[in-house]
Amino acid sequence: MNAVPHLGVLALQGAFREHRQRLEALGVRVTEVRRPADLAGLQGLILPGGESTTIARLMTDFGLWQPVRDFHAAGGALWGTCAGAILLAREVLGGPPQFGGHQASLALMDLSVRRNAFGRQVDSFRVPLAVRGWAAPFPAVFIRAPVIERVGEGVDVLARHQGQIVLARQGRLLASAFHPELTPDPRLHALFLEMSLTVSA
């Protein structure tokens, strides 16, 4: 294992620069992932927020679906934030009507996620979120956020907002409905770093 941790941020669309900055502040070497070869040597990969239909289309164009699944199967950690959480989910509800409601996803994490569950862009909001086991709440920014409507048996629920699941972990998979990269609080990036370095296949 490298002395300096090396993580990637999927950099096709969305808030990938902010994730990069948060990771670099933790001393992580960061690669922006656009092609399968960019995954080489990474210990974890963040799928950022943005627009899941757009990111999914670009993942098809860049041939990234199977390489990201293989990366995870080989021991890599994955963290999906907002649109990224949609891409991790086994089941996506509320997919785009122009695709008959179907939304492509990696289907790696045993979740059912509903898109745009908190309303439209104007309904974006910020709340102090109680995270299981943490002394102080996390400042969570929600932007046209999804909710996790169902979790499978192996999934740990780490936070809820108004009773709805917004943060969950399954082994070396992490899903957050909100945008932790848009606040200076480093705790979730630190958690993902720890997951990337300590959780093995």
Query: Which residue of 5, 8, 49, 76 would you call a contact of ligand GLN, by CB under 6 A?
Result: 49
Closer to ligand GLN by Cβ: residue 57 or 69: 57
Choices 1-9, 47-55, 67-75, 128-136; region in contact with ligand GLN by CB under 6 A: 47-55
Query: Which residue of 6, 32, 34, 51 would you call a contact of ligand GLN, by CB under 6 A?
Result: 51
Please give the Cα distance from 159 to 44 (Å, whole number): 22
Give catalytic status of residue 179 as yes or no.
yes
Please give the Cα distance from 183 to 114 (Å, whole number): 24
Footprint on residues 66-85 left by ligand GLN (CB under 6 A)? 82-83
Question: Cα separations (Å) of 191 from 92, 128, 158, 173, 188?
Answer: 25, 18, 12, 11, 5
Closer to ligand GLN by Cβ: residue 55 or 195: 55
Count of residues that interact with ligand GLN, criterion CB under 6 A: 11
Q: What's the CA angle centered on 159, arms 7 and 201, to 5 degrees?
A: 40
The active-site residue, picked from 18, 19, 181, 189, is 181
Please give the Cα distance from 98 to 76 (Å, whole number): 33
The active-site residue, picked from 19, 82, 161, 189, is 82
Q: For helices 16-25 and 187-198, what crossing angle results, to 10°?
A: 80
The binding site for ligand GLN (CB under 6 A) comprises 49-52, 82-83, 86, 115-116, 143-144
